[in-house]
Amino acid sequence: MVTMRTPIIAGNWKMHKTVAEAIQLAHAVCEGVVNMEGVDVVLCPPFTALSAVKNIVEGTKVGLGAQNMYWEEQGAFTGEVSPLMLVELCGYVILGHSERRQYFGETDEGVNKKIKAAQSHGLTPIVCVGENLAQNEAGETAEFVGGQVKAAFAGLSAEDAVKVIVAYEPIWAIGTGRNADPTTANSIIGLSIRGMLADLYGEDSAQQIRVQYGGSVKPENVESYMSQPDIDGALVGGASLKPDSFLALVKGALVK
């Protein structure tokens, strides 16, 4: 089947960059992507830098995303940020990143609520799934990742489902320099993620949903992932923190 999924490279800055540093990096990225067509580019700075980076990316082809949010619109939820607040600032939000699941107790059920809340405010969720090392070594990846996808999409209509971006990030490959083999990553995405989405919404819808790979993506390996048929982009941590490496990744996505 011929698909028309535009590749998407997103930089997850995690807990890096002061406002001043974020401004510098955002400027460099915006300048660097001016002539790059055929790829979507998204920057996800920490909450504290969203407003400053918004002023820089406005009117450019670079999109802006947050790294998390709570599902309620407002209320007594100290320290949380709502979709209503984010939609003034950005268009995307990363949800269910493994670091949120691992260190901050996020559950599949919470991720599902966040996806629905994000979409009801017009935000595009980038939903992360992925197995840990023990699950990988025990041969449980397909079942576990398929289950995470099913739980994340519970109750979503096909119309909403096709607007979600999924990121397959094997936990053991994040920030470790240890890469998932591109062919293996492609088959997990094809069979366990897009396959599950096809079970839920039919093949046509599943073919419209973009799925990124994430986990130690670097300029040296980006093309090996991007040349895989089921991999539509990358969610990048470490290599998104410097303009040169991030721009090299964006260029690498043009192999599509």
Residue (of 128, 138, 129, 61) closest to 93 by Cα position: 128
99 vs 201, beta carbon nearer ligand PGA: 99
Distance of CA 64 to the CA centre of its chain: 12
Choosing from 152, 238, 250, 253, the residue that interacts with ligand PGA (CB under 6 A) is 238
Query: What's the CA gap between 174 and 117, in Å, rounded?
Result: 27
Q: Pick out residues in 216-235 that bind ligand PGA (CB under 6 A).
A: 216-217, 235
* Site membership for ligand PGA, residue 175 (CB under 6 A): yes
Query: What's the CA gap between 9 and 142, in Å, rounded?
Result: 24
Reduced to 3 states (helix: H, G, I; strand: E, B; else coil), residue 212 is: strand
CA distances from 186 to 24, 101, 150, 193 (A): 34, 23, 19, 10
Which residue has the closest beta carbon to ligand PGA?
A: 237
Catalytic residue check, 97:
yes
Catalytic residue check, 159:
no
* Site membership for ligand PGA, residue 252 (CB under 6 A): no
Distance of closest approach, residue 128 Cβ to ligand PGA, in angstroms: 7
Distance of closest approach, residue 188 Cβ to ligand PGA, in angstroms: 16
**Contact by Cβ (8 Å): 108, 152:** yes
Choosing from 29, 236, 247, 250, the residue that interacts with ligand PGA (CB under 6 A) is 236
Q: Pick out residues in 3-42 that bind ligand PGA (CB under 6 A).
A: 12
Query: What's the CA gap between 101 and 14, in Å, rounded?
Result: 14
27 vs 218, beta carbon nearer ligand PGA: 218
Q: What is the DSSP letter of 159?
A: H
158 vs 243, beta carbon nearer ligand PGA: 243
| Residues involved in catalysis | 97, 169
Q: What does the binding site for ligand PGA look like in residue numbers (CB under 6 A)?
A: 12, 169, 174-175, 214-217, 235-239
